[in-house]
Amino acid sequence: MTRYSRQDVLRILHISPRQLLGWERAGLIPLQAEYGFPELAQLRTLRELQGLRIKPSSIRNSVQAMRAVSGISNPLLESAVVRSGSRLAFRYSGTMVDPIRRQFLFDFESAGEPHSVSLAMLHPARNAGQRDRELQTLFAQAVQAEEQGRKLAAIDIYNSILAQDPAYTAALINLGTLYYHQKKYNRAEELYRRATQADPSYVLAFFDLGNVLDELQRPDESIQAYSRALSLAPAYADAHYNLALAYERKAERRRALSHWQIYVRLDKNGPWADHARGQIRKLLSREKLSIAHRTSSYQPQGHRVASQLALVPTQSA
């Protein structure tokens, strides 16, 4: 196999030593003196992603998540990489996957492929034995029933899956969401909590749990769930948005402000971003008024002489 030196790679791909070193430090490419064609392909992908202004840390998080859910060792080489907001999605085995949320996405470029428009949650990778394949088939049938509007049939199938595998997180989440939309919030909470216990790294389980706790008017628990989701995926824009709302309901405006500000950095366009900017303006305006009020009424401790402003005539030169 033809090998290329570091200088050859920099020249062929038109990248700087600093770029290459940054990817190596982020763990996206191993540090080495020579590179083959696979490494060149991987570096070309990284260069294109940098051109889309996706941070190396975000690329690393998405790659690590994809390894965990799919079992493939090098997602940048073994799947097609697609930008999804500030993160990456991967087109793999006929599906478009957001590995951090463990969610299939709408894949408009390959809409004719099976499951290409499925919104099913991705189940953690495992050894695919006969029983697992049967459960996956049932799961696909449940998702299809949902898409066709046959909600009761979908509920029955999800329950059938959970009877055989109580820790099947994708079924727990989807069934919980069906109950959530029926406003059966206690049942939804139970299923979401089971999902977080079955897979403590399942970001969407904590996000959905936060949503149902918010509906149940348990703001402290809701904030805890959203915060857990963000500890797993700091760039999860929707979690920042909902956490900001939760803090506003508790009148913790400064904490709300910080999450509104993070949200608009992650999602710059659209109605939700416009709403977040409006909240930022309101909160900053309130903060200025509060500071002005405290300043005008402040008296240093022990200073009891009232001070007054007076006009003092100036002397002419």
- Three-state SS string across 206-265, please? HHHHHHHHHHCCCHHHHHHHHHHHHHHCCCCHHHHHHHHHHHHHCCCHHHHHHHHHHHHH
pLDDT in tens, the chain (317 residues): 567 788 888 877 778 888 888 888 878 888 888 888 788 888 888 888 877 778 787 888 888 888 777 667 788 877 788 877 777 888 766 667 888 777 766 544 443 332 322 233 344 444 445 677 788 778 778 877 876 788 899 999 999 999 999 988 878 988 998 999 899 999 999 999 999 998 888 787 898 999 999 999 999 999 999 999 888 878 777 889 999 999 999 989 899 999 999 888 877 766 778 888 888 898 888 766 554 444 444 444 443 333 333 333 334 33
Contact 240, 266 (CB under 8 A): yes
User: How much is the pLDDT for 259?
Assistant: 92
Q: At 7, give phi and psi (nearest 5°).
A: -65, -40
Q: Within 13 A of 251's CA, how many CA atoms are on the CB side?
A: 0
Question: How far is the C-alpha of 209 from the C-alpha of 221, rounded, in Å?
Answer: 9
User: How much is the pLDDT for 213?
Assistant: 95
User: How much is the pLDDT for 216?
Assistant: 94
Burial class (CB in 10 A: 0-12, 13-18, 19+), 246: buried
pTM of the model: 0.57
User: How much is the pLDDT for 290?
Assistant: 52
User: How much is the pLDDT for 129?
Assistant: 56
Parts of the chain belonging to CATH 1.25.40.10: 127-199, 219-287
DSSP state of 109: G
DSSP state of 34: E
Q: Which one is the CATH code of 219-287: 2.30.33.40, 3.50.50.60, 1.25.40.10, 1.20.1250.20? A: 1.25.40.10
Superfamily of segment(s) 127-199:
Tetratricopeptide repeat domain (1.25.40.10)
Contact 82, 91 (CB under 8 A): yes
User: How much is the pLDDT for 196?
Assistant: 92
**CA distance from start to end of the chain:** 90
Q: Residue 209 is encoded by which pair of tokens?
A: 């749990």
Question: How far is the C-alpha of 61 from the C-alpha of 64, rounded, in Å?
Answer: 5
